[in-house]
Structure 1
Amino acid sequence: MDIKVLGALAVTENGVSIAPTAPKPRQVLALLALHADRVVPVSALIEELWGVTPPRSARTTLQTYVLQLRELIAVALDGERGGAHAQGARRTAKEVLVTMPGGYLLASGGGASDIRLFERLAGMGYRAMDAGDFPGAARQLREALTLWSGTAFADVQVGEQLETEIKRLEESRLCALDQRIEADLRLGRHRELLAELTVLVNRYRTHESLHGQFMLALYRSGRRGEALEAYQRLRATLVRDLGLEPSAALQRLQRSVLTASPEPAGTPGAAKERLVSTS
């Protein structure tokens, strides 16, 4: 089974989609796919579908959705040919979507999962950063980020459970993005980053690390005035929307840009980063 959730939901068994079009069965599959090979409690599925005030028929209706999913799985399994499956070892729909004590489990059978691949690649990137291998970090993190084709579960109607998971996944993506940009800055790719960072700071108007990286890239590109303007825009947004001043690290960066210090404090994401241009 192949599972993709970092964008539109796509779950295939034997190359055949098992994703229903009806909203609520699709929600059930989405939550099961997210936690593939782990038991998802019935209570979590009910909360996802109906919130804290489920109907009396919630469990029965959930069982109906599970049956609908198994029907789709059975159709996909019927197309399997060759190998061990042809010799009588082919999985059944109940062995793919398994009823467990207190919940259900979607058995991936060792198939691909974009979430698991993203986490593995991002982890390799973080370890490369810690080891000072900035080319390796940039490469691994860039590969991890290419797995995203949009917002997680972009075409799924979501309840509380999936909404929380989407926020968690988005935070993981932002962390990987932050570290990939940090690695690129360490490699002197400041000019190449300007267009991307211009979009990002407009999308994430209170994200201090991205703004710090934007300031650094502008300064290194000989655009000191624009770097100071970027700081002032961020400060105005933080004060207006959150009642906060920029962090101490970002204030140090601003002072360093202002005085053109050769060894200023770094961006929030890299305390030892230097402003000095590597061009």
Structure 2
Amino acid sequence: MPNSMEDAGGTTTKLSINILGPLRVRRGGVVIGSHELGGPKPRQVLEILLLKLGTPVSKNHLIDVLWNGQPPAEALSTLESYVSVLRRHLQPGSGKGGALRTVTGGYMIDRSMVDLDLDRFDDLLKQAGHASPEESFRLLEKALDIASVPLLGDELLAGWAEEERALHSARVASIKARAAEAAVAVGHPETRGGPGQ
């Protein structure tokens, strides 16, 4: 019988994760809310890794961010226990074989095993940069639909999250301006990036 990270064919189930708005993880038919990930710090570990999707993040960096440069003496073992908790929720029965990977000196989220809303947003923007004006407008509108809610919407305590949210918000504002320009170029004056929006 396949474990819960595998479907009947024995292939690994891709995690579907939203970090725009409230953090939400879908593993097959199971939805895991941010409050079900073992507490604020394990959730923050996941969020930090998701913001760097596919890129290794060192344990030292995670410790520095989680404890705002003032880690307790037991920070390393505490971080490792947070990762263990996350693995139990994200990839039960898969141990280190799921989306949350151990790499030399740190951790990463395997991009091939996660469908992340922020990643889809970035892909749409890349596509829009190489598309015809009409198609670019459509792709920008689709990207803005995905980004209609704040990044890390339920991460209210961490200063690093506020910085990430501000950067993302500024980026969305520039995309709204781009979409408004594209709308004018293709004769669609009514757009969420236009006047009054």
Global fold match (TM > 0.5): yes
Gaps of 5+ in 1: 78-91, 201-279
Q: Does 1:134 align with 2:133?
A: yes
What percentage of residue pairs aligned between the two structures are identical?
A: 30
- The one-letter amino acid of 2:16's match is D
Between the aligned partners of 1:108 and 1:73, the Cα distance in structure 2 is 14
Between the aligned partners of 1:147 and 1:16, the Cα distance in structure 2 is 22
Q: TM-score, normalised by structure 1?
A: 0.57
**3-state SS, counterpart of residue 146 of structure 2:** coil
Q: Does 1:7 align with 2:6?
A: no
**C-alpha root-mean-square deviation of aligned residues, in Å?**
2.4
Between the aligned partners of 2:193 and 2:160, the Cα distance in structure 1 is 35
- The one-letter amino acid of 1:173's match is V
* Equivalent residues of 2:177, 2:193 under 8 A apart: no
Superposition deviation, residue 160 in structure 1: 4.6
Q: Which of 122, 125, 128 lines up with 2:128 in the alignment?
A: 125
Superposition deviation, residue 164 in structure 1: 3.5
How many residue pairs get aligned? The number is 179
Q: Could you list the per-position Cα deviations for residues 46-70 of structure 1 after superposition, in whole angstroms to 9, with x for gaps in the alignment?
A: 1221101111121121112111111
Q: Which of 5, 25, 37 lines up with 2:42 in the alignment?
A: 25
Gaps of 5+ in 2: 1-14
**3-state SS, counterpart of residue 112 of structure 1:** strand
Between the aligned partners of 1:25 and 1:103, the Cα distance in structure 2 is 15
Q: Which of 71, 78, 81 lines up with 1:54 in the alignment?
A: 71
Between the aligned partners of 2:43 and 2:135, the Cα distance in structure 1 is 38
- Which residue is equivalent to 2:87? 70
**3-state SS, counterpart of residue 195 of structure 2:** helix
Closer, same or farther: CA 98–19 of 1 in aligned 2, 3 Å? farther
- Where do 1:200-215 residues align within 5 Å? 200=197
- Which residue is equivalent to 2:11? none
Q: Which of 106, 113, 117 lines up with 2:116 in the alignment?
A: 113
Closer, same or farther: CA 24–195 of 1 in aligned 2, 3 Å? closer
Between the aligned partners of 1:194 and 1:66, the Cα distance in structure 2 is 40
* Equivalent residues of 2:180, 2:192 under 8 A apart: no
- Where do 1:147-186 residues align within 5 Å? 147-157=146-156, 159-186=158-185
Q: Could you list the per-position Cα deviations for residues 211-240 of structure 1 after superposition, in whole angstroms to 9, with x for gaps in the alignment?
A: xxxxxxxxxxxxxxxxxxxxxxxxxxxxxx
Q: Where is the helix percentage greater, Structure 1 or Structure 2?
A: 1
Q: Could you list the per-position Cα deviations for residues 226-277 of structure 1 after superposition, in whole angstroms to 9, with x for gaps in the alignment?
A: xxxxxxxxxxxxxxxxxxxxxxxxxxxxxxxxxxxxxxxxxxxxxxxxxxxx
* Equivalent residues of 2:42, 2:85 under 8 A apart: yes
Q: Where is the strand percentage greater, Structure 1 or Structure 2?
A: 2
* Equivalent residues of 1:46, 1:54 under 8 A apart: yes
Structure with bigger RCO (C-alpha 8 Å, 6+ apart)? 2
- The one-letter amino acid of 1:172's match is R
Closer, same or farther: CA 94–193 of 1 in aligned 2, 3 Å? closer
* Equivalent residues of 2:176, 2:194 under 8 A apart: no
Q: TM-score, normalised by structure 2?
A: 0.78
